[in-house]
Amino acid sequence: MGAPAENKGNQQDVTGTGPILIGLGANLPSPVHGSPVATLEAALRHLRQKGIGLLARSRWWESAPVPVSEEPWYVNGVAEIATTLDPEALLALLHDIEAEFGRARPYLNAPRVLDLDLLAYGDVTREGPRPPLLPHPRLAQRGFVLLPLAELRPEWRHPLTGRSLPEMIAALPGSQIVRVLPQ
């Protein structure tokens, strides 16, 4: 299944009502860290150095770009974390780490060295207008999020819709190609 939990530290799940989940992705090599997999592993180490507890992570998955394009395939995973940061501060930290790793945002859905998304913060729901929107607004439409999430939290339900992971996975379009990356 996923990688073993590492470095829980003294962080607590401050939501008290469910997991704090982040999505990790990359489809470009990093000049500093190397391949997308090496970059994602480095990002997890960096999160721990910033005081974020890593409770568990999925295996790495590879996926075709969504929306479909000619850009390189992605490596994706989901991690369950523990933190005392509130959702706004956690999202800011994720964006800071992306910038430190060289993420550029020249246009929507551009290829990236690192993508860190706050997927869910317990059962907290926020539909806007100010970020973070919780759960992530496109989570239910992304196989590269749902399949790794099902490894970690098969019982997880979308806090706004109540839909289960199997229901959301079954509703994915067949055009989304997601498969476990050989370890």
Could you list the residue range(s) of the whole structural domain that residue 25 is in? Answer: 20-180
**Range in 1-15, 47-61, 73-87 the model is least confident about:** 1-15
1-5, 9-13, 136-140: range with lowest mean pLDDT: 9-13
Asked, for residue 6, whether it belongs to a domain, the answer is: no
Residue 12, pLDDT score? 37
Residue 158 domain flag: yes
Asked whether residue 76 is assigned to any structural domain, the reply reads yes
Q: Which long-range contacts (CB under 8 A, 24 or more apart) does 131-137 make?
A: 131/88, 131/91, 132/87, 132/88, 132/90, 132/91, 134/87, 134/159, 135/159, 135/160, 136/23
Domain count, the chain: 1
CATH classification at residue 175? 3.30.70.560
Provide the whole-model pTM. 0.89
| Residue range 7-56, pLDDT digits in tens | 333 333 344 578 999 999 999 999 999 999 999 999 999 999 999 999 99
What are the pLDDT digits (tens) for 45-58?
A: 999 999 999 999 99
CA-closest candidate to residue 116, choices 139, 87, 93? 93
